[in-house]
Structure 1
Amino acid sequence: MLTTRCAVLGSPVAHSLSPLLHRAAYAYLGLEWEYDAREVREEDLPGFVASLDASWRGLSLTMPLKRAVVPLLDEMGDRAVQAQAANTVVLEGTGERRRLVGHNTDIPGAAAALRERHDGPVDRAVVLGGGATAASVLLALADLGCREAVLLVRDPARAADTLDAVGRHPSPPEVEVAALGSAVPAPDVLVSTVPASAQPGLTGLVAGAGVVFDVIYDPWPTPLAMAAADRFVPVVGGHDLLVHQAVLQVELMTGRPVPVDVLRNALGATP
């Protein structure tokens, strides 16, 4: 009997904590499944997907693969269609009926992570970065009732895909695009999807924010997270997003729910 296999794909991917989380979930569920990390570059993704045999059940995707996988999918869930990005692929069916179904658990995962640690307003947001993760967080904020957002990016011309994604939400916020480093009013929510190395010149944005949501978890704490702590501003971290989106991934791949605390305890994190 074939061992059921899943993996996280990306480049770089060695730092990923996804294997730790998914293996903890399998142990809780009593499943003898395998889950590992595979270094896959964007140009190698079609070949990797084509090589998957019947033992494969699911893939977790990190950047830069969340958008690159879309043309390879047979079907997409509603949130993946909205974002035009999938961080989760479930292989369904057998033989010639085998299908690749893409899902986006970043959107509901981000909403759950934010609401777990912050029950204040989310009307106005500032988002650093304009990639697939930024689109997912903006869609999550739209779910929570965000009305206005400023997207700060290095190259405003490259934010088109993110703006298109937000526009597919039934109640999208009004989004303004500006260059990274621009002066903006203090938001209810400051979101960062940029690397920690790009943050030192941006820590002044923390002043007056209601909450800081930094999707990075390695290294941690990031300059923005430290600046927020110094100002007693609540912080939602990358581990929070990771755990909440992974719980949803596990259920999509296995068909069985897992308590979020099982994954949180695997990280040694506390709510």
Structure 2
Amino acid sequence: MSLRAAVLGHPISHSKSPALHLAAYGRLGVGISYTAIDVTEQLLPPLMRQIRDQPGWRGLSVTMPLKTAMLGQVDEVRGVAGILGVVNTVSFEEHGSSIRAIGSNTDVAGIVNALRHAGTGTAPSAVVLGGGGTAASAVAALKELGANRAEVFVRDTSRTAEVCAAAESLDVALVIRSLAGAARPAAEADVVISTLPPRAADGIAAEMAALKTAMPGVLLDVAYDPWPSLIASVWQAGGGTVVPGLEMLLYQAVEQVRLFSRLDKEVNASVIDVMCDAVGLPRRAL
């Protein structure tokens, strides 16, 4: 029986997940194929029924706009995914003669590990750009890093239910503000996590450049195509540390690889190195 996994989202043609996963499975010697499937929220339920009827599925990576919609398509939600209401990973487990779909969230670990790798300290002052599902994961990651407060800047302050619910569950105090006022607070923060779509932060970047001030903190821009983004370029010019979205994608994929391969231990450094090679990231220093 052939083993399968895939990344689901819309649009999905730009995804680097297949390169990351296939490199890992090749290094592990595990025969799991991995493809990208373009699917909308409306078409997700019939696709999930089809997947459940096909033997050999090990897991699904879930990206926008499906991270909330996937909640209703799994048999069980584990860990922080239940707190956030955001699922970016589905693993399939055998229970006797039946297969159960388990929803989890590896985005939080991806953000935490990417920021730690960049040298982020504990209890940073924090700004989050955007208010959707990935912003909710960003708040959970900041909590894990010791931050109990964050400023969240959004285009529409009435559409912040996901991130506000996450913050309340995690006991993180949020200040919600309009995206139009983000430039100076972002420039002064220890950590900025942009969860905005590609190019959506360009206006903020132009305003930050006009400030002509130092930006000594760490910026994680979740969007990685095109790269470098304008906000990343401005941040680097201001003297700050830039973490590309590929770093987050790498670390959340590492945990997915462990789940889909059914490893009973952490993914080792040699696997992570070939994953880095596959997407042009520097290998991890020992």
After TM superposition, the score normalised by the length of structure 1 is 0.94
TM-align CA RMSD:
1.6
Worse overlay, 5-14 or 175-184: 175-184
Match of 2:35 in 1: 36
Which residue in 2 is equivalent to 1:156? 157
Letter in 2 for 1:148: R
Match of 2:231 among 212, 224, 237: 224
Deviations, residues 201-235 of structure 1 (Å, cap 9, x unaligned): 10245854511111111110001100011111101
> Superposition pairs for residues 122-271 of structure 1, below 5 Å?
122-169=123-170, 172-183=171-182, 185=185, 186-203=188-205, 204-205=207-208, 207=213, 208-256=215-263, 257-259=267-269, 260-270=272-282, 271=284
**Separation in structure 2 between the aligned mates of residue 127 and residue 143 of structure 1, nearest angstrom:** 15
- Do residues 77 (structure 1) and 78 (structure 2) align? yes
Q: Distance in 2 between matches of 1:69 and 1:258?
A: 29
Q: Deviation of residue 190 (structure 1)?
A: 1.3
Distance between the aligned counterparts of 1:196 and 1:188, measured in 2? 22
Q: Which shows bigger deviation, 233-242 or 258-267?
A: 258-267
Question: Once the two structures are superposed, what CA deviation does each residue of 1:22-73 show, in whole Å capped at 9, x if it has no partner?
Answer: 0001101101211000011110001000001112110001100010000111
Equivalent residue number for residue 48 of structure 1: 47
Alpha-carbon distance in structure 1 between the residues aligned to 2:229 and 2:280: 18
Structure 1: 5+ residue runs without aligned partners? none
3-state DSSP of counterpart to 2:37: strand
Structure 2 portions without partners, runs of 5+: none
Hey, what's the Cα distance between the residues in 2 that align with 1:205 and 1:140?
A: 25
Displacement of 1:120: 3.3
Deviation of 1:123 after TM superposition, in Å, equals 2.7
Deviation beyond 4 Å, 4+ runs, structure 1: none
Counterparts of 2:234 and 2:59 in 1: how far apart (Å)?
A: 38
Q: Percent identity?
A: 40
Instruction: Report the equivalent of 1:118.
Output: 119
Shift of 1:156: 1.1
Q: Compare 174-183 and 67-76 and name the one that shifted more.
A: 174-183
Identify the range of structure 1 (242-251 vs 87-96) with the bigger mean alpha-carbon deviation.
87-96
Distance 1:5 1:212 in 2: 35
Structure 1 residue 118 displacement after superposition: 2.1
C-alpha contact (below 8 Å) 2:219/2:241 kept by paired residues: yes
SS in 2 for 1:151: strand
Q: Give 1:98's aligned residue.
A: 99
Q: TM-score, normalised by structure 2?
A: 0.89
Q: Does 1:68 align with 2:80?
A: no
- Does the CA-based 8 Å contact 2:15-2:36 persist in structure 1? yes
In 1, Cα distance between equivalents of 2:13 and 2:50: 21
Per-residue deviation, 1:249: 0.5
User: Tell me, what secondary structure is at the counterpart of 1:93?
Assistant: strand
**Alignment deviations for residues 129-176 of structure 1 (CA, whole Å, 9 cap, x no partner):** 01111110110011001122111111111101211012222xx32101
**How many equivalent pairs are there?**
268
Partner secondary structure for residue 44 of structure 2: helix
How far apart are the structure 2 equivalents of 1:93 and 1:174?
40
